[in-house]
Structure 1
């Protein structure tokens, strides 16, 4: 089984603090290392972004005559299985969009990816904790160039807040008072999803990070000095579920798409989720006025902003165009790619030197830089089976349905993690 102690995990401020550093980009005049008339296939799971990726890759193609970059998207829910098979021979991708943290490890262990540490320039400019999202647990090598940081917030309808005379809350009590006011007005305060259980650990981080203590608590967990069953973590689950009164009618049957629709239609004032939702919400309702706020710790100790590396782009060991693929991935570590990615896809790029032009993305970056907090179950306890993320998704569902309490949910997570986790030495 994978052993998390075999790699040192840097858990301080993530890449945002290093965004002012300029990455080393490949020369714009560099030729095609694999010869003329080369097609580099890039596999990914973002079907909705295919046209935009093709547009972004045109910049690389213009600087590399004779090279065509083809983005091949697959259905998100089928992608992992398709990729695992496709990487086995040259008929698969040259470059692949890779999942992060524990979900990356099967591809590392199978030997299907090129270790990039000594292959491309620019990686040493990234924050070590950002590279953790693309690092092999067993060998500590980096297998992809991280492409996005996702931060977690409460996204809110500014028009509703303005109509009710509400400001962004700066304390837990102010947040509860705002939710009370919204509920009294006949609007659902929070559009939470329950049936799509993958969202439940995200919601718990948003409302619970300030209770368990964020990064300092993670450090204790990795050293074996704290667990999911200790009181700070259990209390963080209770802090999250204490907001149930504001989730609206029949929340037990609310799906992810239902929750999105409640928010974009104006029936709910806020949506707890990731910064990636901004693009979705703006597309669904271009007239929607959006804001974000971060949940203050109930004891007033701070306002943590949870975040994690969403994925990376790596090179297939079976590729017949490995040199050209490496050159493309090296370009993906440059500010030119990172800025285009951020501007055109409304995402936070972890590439050093990139500053979001979108106001809310910039606000998210600033908050995350000031007080970064980890997404513990997904990022740091997903290196073995069963993953803490899968366990949390399942046990939190049982909790919401009233089958267990917070301590019971935490116990299920810890029991599963104990099967494979060894504290770092």
Structure 2
């Protein structure tokens, strides 16, 4: 019997067609039910793009969403998905996100020394030639650069400043005005203490606050900006007599701080001030919103503490500052061009004005004027007589960091277990394990 020929007629073609259509339908169904491709951002064939932005500023979420809504309106087809995480957990969350495929397109990143591990991991795109920071404050621009290669990896968001806040009502009640000389400053402290008011609220239990307290009370005593150049070049060190004398200033003023100050937390110090039990509090521009919200009835003022006796020739009252909260572009972004365009927009005055008006921060963008009078005063003080918050801007590039060593040593100063010379020597030897002068 002749073997049967293969079936190639119409019925077999129909069966193949049905199977092919079924397979195609299944693939389309799976695609429709699956999440969009993993990775930062998303985009479709319709040209629309979603950019994810991560931040540690949970408290600013509403303000950021308002700001990014303005960007979306000016950039049809782009949606900004803002996500905020708990600040104490953010560094770990960000490192994991940037190393994987589900991280942000535009991460908020740390500055200066704390930026370097992110740069070293090659998680960020260099922005040189893509964003223009010409004319920006050099201290602010330095916060965005890689220490090794000198490339720009982020756009600075805000200038933070530190100064003395004071309760104008308590000052008026005691016949006081913001002091312009050291003698007036000491006399004000004495008068407040005699009236049963804690003159200076300090939360020394949180050691990170103490380098800030030192900057506010004694920056002119060690020489401010001039000392920065000398210590970076190796001409001076932290055992220099002027630096030691500035540390002693903090110890000498301890009698005006809360009793058992090393047991007082930073939040406790803020409560003393907002409850009008303390007349002054050294703090950052980032504290303004917290203090105002805690007691809206307190009329707050700010001033620069005058130079203590013995300050170097030419040293004047100063406002120390640094850059913080920078934004970068992830090297793993699926939409690097759109993400870069968003970060580029963050260099504009429009963005800067919204930062100062809605987030209540001093914008890093030159020429932006805060509408809040206190923010404007702090910004003007930094612009006119500013100096770097030295241990943050230049001594966080290694371990142990300058702020960590100094904060803990200042606690011991306030406890009476170390004097200013010992504290300064400990700082100097700590940073010298990794710091190398430029000269």
Q: Same fold (TM over 0.5)?
A: yes
The CA distance in 2 between the partners of 1:37 and 1:259, in whole Å, is: 49
Q: Based on CA coordinates, which of the two structures has the bigger radius of gyration?
A: 2
- For residue 286 of structure 1, give the secondary structure of its aligned residue in structure 2: coil
* 2:99 aligns with one of 85, 88, 108: 88
- For residue 100 of structure 2, give the secondary structure of its aligned residue in structure 1: coil
- Which segment is superposed worse, 358-367 or 328-337? 358-367
Residue 257 (str. 1) matches residue 267 (str. 2): yes
The CA distance in 2 between the partners of 1:46 and 1:311, in whole Å, is: 9
- For residue 144 of structure 1, give the secondary structure of its aligned residue in structure 2: coil
Instruction: Flag the 1:67–1:167 CA change in 2: closer, same or farther, 3 A.
Output: same
The CA distance in 1 between the partners of 2:45 and 2:356, in whole Å, is: 29
Structure-1 residue corresponding to 2:427: 413
Instruction: Flag the 1:173–1:239 CA change in 2: closer, same or farther, 3 A.
Output: same
* 2:192 aligns with one of 182, 185, 203: 182
Q: Note the 1:133-212 alignment, pairs <5 A.
A: 133-212=143-222
Aligned 8 A contact 1:34 1:321 in 2: no
* 1:49 aligns with one of 51, 60, 71: 60
Query: Does 1 or 2 have the higher relative contact order (CA < 8 Å, sep 6+)?
Result: 1
Residue 349 (str. 1) matches residue 363 (str. 2): yes
Instruction: Flag the 1:57–1:33 CA change in 2: closer, same or farther, 3 A.
Output: farther
Q: Note the 1:272-283 alignment, pairs <5 A.
A: 272-283=282-293
- For residue 316 of structure 1, give the secondary structure of its aligned residue in structure 2: coil
Q: Note the 1:54-73 alignment, pairs <5 A.
A: 54-73=65-84
- Which segment is superposed worse, 214-223 or 246-255? 246-255
Structure-1 residue corresponding to 2:302: 292
Instruction: Please report how far the alpha carbon of residue 246 of structure 1 lies from its aligned counterpart in structure 2 after TM superposition.
Output: 0.8
Deviation readout 1:207-263 (Å, 9 max, x if unpaired): 110100011111010110111111111111111221111112232210011001110
- Which segment is superposed worse, 330-339 or 111-120? 111-120
TM-score for both structures, normalised by structure 2: 0.87
Structure-2 residue corresponding to 1:109: 120
Aligned 8 A contact 1:207 1:295 in 2: yes
Instruction: Flag the 1:113–1:175 CA change in 2: closer, same or farther, 3 A.
Output: same
The CA distance in 2 between the partners of 1:180 and 1:345, in whole Å, is: 37
The CA distance in 1 between the partners of 2:215 and 2:105, in whole Å, is: 36
Aligned 8 A contact 1:34 1:324 in 2: no
Structure-1 residue corresponding to 2:256: 246
**RMSD in angstroms over aligned alpha carbons?**
1.6
The CA distance in 1 between the partners of 2:82 and 2:46, in whole Å, is: 20
Deviation readout 1:87-138 (Å, 9 max, x if unpaired): 1133101111111110111011111111111223x32242332110111100
- For residue 72 of structure 1, give the secondary structure of its aligned residue in structure 2: strand
Aligned 8 A contact 1:342 1:356 in 2: yes
The CA distance in 1 between the partners of 2:425 and 2:324, in whole Å, is: 27
Q: Which runs of 5+ in 1 are unaligned?
A: 1-31
The CA distance in 2 between the partners of 1:85 and 1:252, in whole Å, is: 36
Instruction: Please report how far the alpha carbon of residue 34 of structure 1 lies from its aligned counterpart in structure 2 after TM superposition.
Output: 10
Structure-2 residue corresponding to 1:223: 233
The count of aligned residue pairs is 393
Q: Which runs of 5+ in 2 are unaligned?
A: 1-42
Aligned 8 A contact 2:262 2:411 in 1: no
The CA distance in 2 between the partners of 1:53 and 1:311, in whole Å, is: 13
Aligned 8 A contact 2:112 2:396 in 1: yes
Instruction: Flag the 1:88–1:302 CA change in 2: closer, same or farther, 3 A.
Output: same
Aligned 8 A contact 2:139 2:388 in 1: no
The CA distance in 2 between the partners of 1:418 and 1:33, in whole Å, is: 53
Structure-1 residue corresponding to 2:327: 313
Structure-2 residue corresponding to 1:15: none
The CA distance in 1 between the partners of 2:414 and 2:371, in whole Å, is: 38
- For residue 363 of structure 2, give the secondary structure of its aligned residue in structure 1: coil
TM-score for both structures, normalised by structure 1: 0.90
Aligned 8 A contact 2:58 2:84 in 1: yes
Instruction: Please report how far the alpha carbon of residue 50 of structure 1 lies from its aligned counterpart in structure 2 after TM superposition.
Output: 0.7
Deviation readout 1:281-336 (Å, 9 max, x if unpaired): 11111111100010111137411111111231001101112111111101111000
Instruction: Please report how far the alpha carbon of residue 35 of structure 1 lies from its aligned counterpart in structure 2 after TM superposition.
Output: 6.8
